Chain A
Amino acid sequence: MSTQTLLEVRDLSKRFASRESRDAALWVIKDLSFSVPDGEFLTIIGPSGSGKTTLLNMIAQIDTATGGEVRFKSEPPAPISDPKLLNPGLSCRIGYVTQEDNLLPWRTTLQNVLFPLTVQGRLNDETRARAQTLIRTVGLAGFENHYPHELSGGMRKRASLIRTLVYDPPVILMDEPFGALDAQTRAVLQEDLLRLWELGRKTIVFVTHDIAEAIALGDRTLVLSRAPAKVIGEHRISIPRPRDIRGIMSHPDFSALYQRIRAQVQ
């Protein structure tokens, strides 16, 4: 694994204007900094309402920041404070798997998965074959021509996951993608995700409020405070890969890590 920094977040802040007065404006995130080396699976954990989604929205540039910067490789920092200059997805280099699947209801599974390639003008035999492989890998074969409402929650999640993987962005942000699923489906999807990640070793920033999930998936875990969010803890997860998701709790390092993180998450 190379140690070159791929994504750097420095002093990122976000304030929502308060309804009552300007003085009481609410800082959701204040001076938040971290960096992600190329190929790392970073998990970020924080209590609900700690601005995790806002953080990812700012990195993906679908929301403006009040202050601070986000740098990709050694490029100059993106102008993320000006709504007119936002570049959502940083020219297809930052993928974003949101909490909701956000599949287009009028497109079939296959058409949804191909959507990014279609709009990027990159649809050819090779990318089509890649999409088919991904569909098979996550067990959606046979459902290519189903509409999203005909799929189960887990299947929709898989479709939205591979919709981002299919165009191969160097950084992928994930916002509690498995939050709304039952424990069993969740475990299966976590395994799928790790398997896909082992193949490509993309850089992933994965936000969750589930400590066990953060440990099971990540190389490193950051703990965020309550709003205004800051990084208040950093934990390297040394559990070797490939990991056994279902047996992760019985790994000797797990319990100590869990306790340490638990103590920091308020």
Chain B
Amino acid sequence: MILYSALVFAAVFASGTFLLLQRDLTRVVVGIILVSNSAVLFIISAGLTRGVAPIYPREGAGPVSDPLVQAMALTALVIGFGVAALLLAMVYRLYVTHHTVDAEEIADYEMRQAEALERADDPEGEEVPAEEQDAEPREEAGAREGSEAR
């Protein structure tokens, strides 16, 4: 029994870890769910004793199975559920803004953005784009005035 639960724990944990290392963010979330559920399995196997259900008042004599691990497993499950929902919401948010859930594509996009910001920060390069930006609205404004006049 202990061997079987250890094997199941190992299999779940390993597949969770494998998914965590993927580029697809939804797979990462599934990986985290699997890993946290493997922890629940581990908790249950940590107190694996046979006995009657631990409900008070006790019916019949004999050993009682450990109620503490069940309480812990339940708490861990609830926490894992809440966090999984939060992670999925974050992935959805990333999908809405980037139209992809691929970690590397999102990172590339951010790299380009950071470079653009750095160029804007650079004191030497700053003047030229600033003038251009200033110039464009003026022309546009002029064009608009012209069109209104017409």
A and B: interacting chains: no
> Which B residues are within 8 Å of any A CB, using their own CB?
none
